[in-house]
Structure 1
Amino acid sequence: MATKSTSSPIAQSPTAELNGNVASGVMSYLGFTVLLLQVGIVPQLPAIGRQLHLSVGDVSWVLTAELLAGAVALAVFSRLADLFGKRRIMAVCLAVALAGALLGAVTKDVTVLLIARALMGAQAPMLALPEALASDTMRPDKARFTITTIHAGNSVGVAGGLLLGALVGAGGRDYHLYFWVAVATLALGLLALLMVRESPYRATGRIDVSGAVLLAIGLVGVLLGTSKGPTWGWASPQVLLLIIGGLGVLVVWVTVQHRVASPLVDLALLRRTATRTPIIVVFLIAFGIYGAISAVARFSQTNPAVAGYGFGYTPTDGWLFAVPVAIGGLAAAALLQPLGKRIGFAGAAAVSVVCCTIAYFTLAIAHSTFEPMMLSLAIYALGNTMGLAASQVIVARSVPPSQSGVALGLTAIVYAVGNSLGTTAVGVFFASNTAAGGTFPAPSAYTLSFVVCGACTLVATLFAWQAHRTGTDAAAPSPVKQ
């Protein structure tokens, strides 16, 4: 077996603080844009289907293409960022995504549109690399604040995406307007990145090409299989082959990572409680995110005159849900730092997932009433934002700067897989429990979905509380001086 290079979880030699308030604002903006553009495309799918004469199944590839490309980009670019510089690779990611947005803005060809969306998946590493760069180049308190505001930007980005979708979709506007907004958004982010300084830390070794290929194939298989299950059928040979084959490839990938000298992902990170526990918490939080949100969206858009429940909203009415999500995210940014200082960031993560649990169980009981639904969304956004930010703070402080990109990239990959599996579970609940002649999910399917999502965050509470009790978030010192 090859002897692979490992790094101690102790921070490297301290340097002067390289980035300050301006950089913090830029990174928070990048956190905002990645969710703005991911969510903003969803309300455009019906218009894309109409204008390009696509079926519902075919138009879903517009979303799937970015999902798959983003998962691969997270795995590969996170390692490249540790090797060649986080700011440099962030610029590459934004440039590739910008090229995709430009391509989408000028094409009316379906194949070219899918290529454009795949290129926009290069923006996915913005879910990890800004946090890693902040951890490398800022004082501990400033880094924690920046990571928190990045996640608050994510929540505001979700709200902004709902608003963007409503504005572009209003009056039957051409969906190309979304791509022009994406062009402006990404170009501004690329220019703003000039005001951020590079991390001085570099990992040693090389890029593990075989590991990258295996991880890409495995992730694409699992994510494609779970995303297409509702339309192709969960028992269809294609879906079973994709999911089982993808899982098999991932098992091979794990074996390869243990044997190569310079692995794509140092799986030793998962043997450390300080990184393993918050990553588990991230997975359990992520499981409920899109599952619950898709359930809320579907319920609210169901016609009560036909199904006997729902609010009868149009897709453009989704802007209503932007308000509580934005409020919850901003409240999290204000609360996490003082809460983390008082009870530790593992303790703050425990509090946050309790908030998520309360929100999901409230939705299970009272999702048919508008006011409790809106309040639950605000509480969910508060808990979700705090939980993900606190978990990434713990992970970032528990690894050396030369591994921060891979560690946070792994967290983001787990987040993406959790999202996919949660959405899959909700899809199964809806498909197997129908009403009104099989056209609509039965009301009990919504209740079950929210209860399962709440159960996941309840389990996450136990992990986070155990980490708090054992002092897991007493992580390594910062690489920068106070």
Structure 2
Amino acid sequence: MARGIGSGRGLLATMAVVVVCSGVVQGYLTPLLPGIGRHIGVGGVGQNNLYLLSQLAFAVMTPLLSKLGDLYGHRRLLRVAVAMVAGGSLLMAVWPTTATLTAGMTLQGAVVGFFPLLAGILRSRAPEYGRTGISVLVGALLVSIGAGGLVAGSLSERHAVAGLWTAVPVAALALAAAALLPDSTAPRRGHFHLGAATLLTLGLVALVLVLAQGGTWGWGTPEVVGLAALALALLALWVWVEHRSAHPLVDVRLLRGSRLAVVNVHTFCLAFGTIGFLGANSVFLGTDPARAGFGMGLGSQAIALVSLAMVVAGCLGSTVTPRLARHVGDRAALATGGVLCAAGFLGLLCFHGSLPQYLTGALLVGLATGVFEAVTRSLAAEVVAEEETALSVGINELALSLGAAIGAAVIGALFAGHQSAGADGHLTLAGYQWSWGVCAGVALLGAAMGLAFRGRRHGAPPAPAQAPLLPAPNADAA
């Protein structure tokens, strides 16, 4: 193996290339969909269905890729996942049609496997870089999400589909990086439970459909109620099957284990606002105050710059999180993320009359995003046995995705209930105020859950995964 790739900074830099690909893929399509939709003849409903398809792919692939990585090798499944993303990105860029966008966005859903699989490799190959490495990768992810959207939007200013090429070169680099990474040394045992995988997939598909379409179909309609009941029944049956299986797809003890459960609930609560409100944040920034009486009246490029500033704040948060956890302990670090998030949303609730005021609250939310994503991903990898690392981080990723989806659904419902009575029926400021308040309340619940975490006490010696940022002189040895 080439020197500098097997461990240490070379390993981390190679992983960062893969994570940047994940961030660009997650961030570059959002500003492009309206223009691409007009170019290929897909209206607002069709664009929403494409977004829904990507969310379904995320939910389904998260546990499957993570479990397969623990069973058959993290590097092998990482290469498969990166190849799927690269193929989907190239397909959409070369031949943008409704069918290829559908196929490409489905293949791109494999990005959800990147972080769990990389965590499995990092934990076994360079455990001394555990928390520092996770924080660096989270920072790279957040910045690349913002940068991907900004680059894609700039490319598509003259031609709608030009921005689709944004992900192609970074996916090619990620393929090369995945080829250089070593495999993890974690023991592999067990078998893939096809029946459990089928039940979990169908249950998650039904659940995501309810969350994504409930506001459109109507939360009290027979379709939504029936689909929600089906999701609960399938997931309950899945738990029952897993309990009886000698080789479960997901060891349900991971779901009810107190430490991982606390981490996942905290992740859900913080993702509820930090990610669930992103779409509404852009709408508020773009609202014309002369017409609505509130908003900032920003254009698309200015909105993209605000979003980029938020992810830069998130990068700062992820960078300082390992040092924060070393000095105050894991519980305090978890609580800090929740308090910062709540303070940001309360700031938006109380001070939103000018752009500097709004930016203060938004940047606090961005800072909280980096803190909670770094600490929860680190803890999700540490609180289980090494051979379950990828699956544990994958479950945490799923908690993040569901928190974001439910947050967006709740905010959508609040918006639907606060529209003006006039002919245009535009959204009122009260809809935003209720949303900011609810997000702050859920973030405080996440902070309280963080205080319930049973981890290393303040002042206790740090674990090997919490080593200083600078490696030993021979840390790059193969």
**TM-score exceeds 0.5:** yes
CA deviation after TM superposition for structure 1 residue 327, in Å: 2.8
Which residues in structure 2 correspond to 1:106-145 (within 5 Å)?
106-140=94-128, 142-145=129-132
Q: Which of 44, 50, 55 is equivalent to 1:56?
A: 44
Task: Point out where structure 1 has 5 or more consecutive residues left out of the alignment.
Answer: 1-16
Quote the residue 1:166 is aligned against: 153
- Larger CA deviation: 315-324 vs 53-62: 315-324
Q: Which of 67, 71, 84 is equivalent to 1:96?
A: 84
Q: Which amino acid aligns with 2:230?
A: G
Q: Which of 303, 307, 321 is equivalent to 2:292?
A: 307
Task: Confirm or deny: 8 A CA contact 1:345 1:473 kept in the other structure.
Answer: no
Superposed CA offset, 1:328-368 (max 9, x none): 12322331121111112332121122111111111111234
Which residues in structure 2 correspond to 1:322-333 (within 5 Å)?
322-333=307-318
Superposed CA offset, 1:160-208 (max 9, x none): 133134313423x222x23322121111111012332110113311111
- 2:171 matches 1:154: no
Quote the residue 2:392 is aligned against: 407
Quote the residue 2:306 is aligned against: 321
CA deviation after TM superposition for structure 1 residue 285, in Å: 0.8
How far apart, CA to CA, are the structure 1 residues paired with 2:259 and 2:458?
A: 5
- Larger CA deviation: 42-51 vs 366-375: 366-375
**SS state of the match for residue 467, structure 1?**
coil
Quote the residue 1:4 is aligned against: none
Quote the residue 1:7 is aligned against: none
- 2:25 matches 1:40: no
Q: Which amino acid aligns with 1:393?
A: S
Task: Confirm or deny: 8 A CA contact 1:222 1:246 kept in the other structure.
Answer: yes
CA deviation after TM superposition for structure 1 residue 43, in Å: 0.9
- Compute the TM-score of the two structures, normalised by the length of structure 2: 0.91
Q: Relative to structure 1, is the Cα distance of residues 24 and 192 closer, same or farther in structure 2, using a 3 angstrom cutoff?
A: same
Q: Relative to structure 1, is the Cα distance of residues 132 and 454 closer, same or farther in structure 2, using a 3 angstrom cutoff?
A: farther
Which residues in structure 2 correspond to 1:337-376 (within 5 Å)?
337-376=322-361
How far apart, CA to CA, are the structure 2 residues paired with 1:352 and 1:411?
A: 16
- Larger CA deviation: 147-156 vs 320-329: 320-329
CA deviation after TM superposition for structure 1 residue 425, in Å: 0.2
Q: Which amino acid aligns with 1:102?
A: L
Identity of aligned residues (%): 25
Quote the residue 1:453 is aligned against: 439
How far apart, CA to CA, are the structure 2 residues paired with 1:480 and 1:450?
A: 35
- Larger CA deviation: 74-83 vs 369-378: 369-378
How far apart, CA to CA, are the structure 1 residues paired with 2:399 and 2:317?
A: 22
Q: Which amino acid aligns with 2:69?
A: A
CA deviation after TM superposition for structure 1 residue 476, in Å: 11
Q: Relative to structure 1, is the Cα distance of residues 128 and 139 closer, same or farther in structure 2, using a 3 angstrom cutoff?
A: closer
Q: Relative to structure 1, is the Cα distance of residues 60 and 121 closer, same or farther in structure 2, using a 3 angstrom cutoff?
A: same
Task: Confirm or deny: 8 A CA contact 1:136 1:479 kept in the other structure.
Answer: no
Task: Confirm or deny: 8 A CA contact 2:130 2:465 kept in the other structure.
Answer: no
- Larger CA deviation: 95-104 vs 29-38: 29-38
Q: Relative to structure 1, is the Cα distance of residues 249 and 403 closer, same or farther in structure 2, using a 3 angstrom cutoff?
A: same
Q: Relative to structure 1, is the Cα distance of residues 473 and 165 closer, same or farther in structure 2, using a 3 angstrom cutoff?
A: farther
Q: Relative to structure 1, is the Cα distance of residues 154 and 331 closer, same or farther in structure 2, using a 3 angstrom cutoff?
A: same
Task: Point out where structure 2 has 5 or more consecutive residues left out of the alignment.
Answer: 473-478
Task: Confirm or deny: 8 A CA contact 2:15 2:177 kept in the other structure.
Answer: no
Q: Which amino acid aligns with 2:63?
A: A
How far apart, CA to CA, are the structure 1 residues paired with 2:380 and 2:92?
A: 36
Q: Which amino acid aligns with 2:134?
A: I
Quote the residue 2:184 is aligned against: 199
Quote the residue 1:465 is aligned against: 451
Task: Confirm or deny: 8 A CA contact 1:166 1:318 kept in the other structure.
Answer: no
Q: Relative to structure 1, is the Cα distance of residues 116 and 453 closer, same or farther in structure 2, using a 3 angstrom cutoff?
A: same
How far apart, CA to CA, are the structure 1 residues paired with 2:286 and 2:466?
A: 50
Superposed CA offset, 1:293-339 (max 9, x none): 22211111222233222222333432221342233123223311211
Q: Which amino acid aligns with 1:445?
A: G
Q: Which amino acid aligns with 1:168?
A: L
- 2:366 matches 1:381: yes
- Compute the TM-score of the two structures, normalised by the length of structure 1: 0.90
Q: Which amino acid aligns with 2:211?
A: T
Q: Which of 259, 265, 277 is equivalent to 2:244?
A: 259
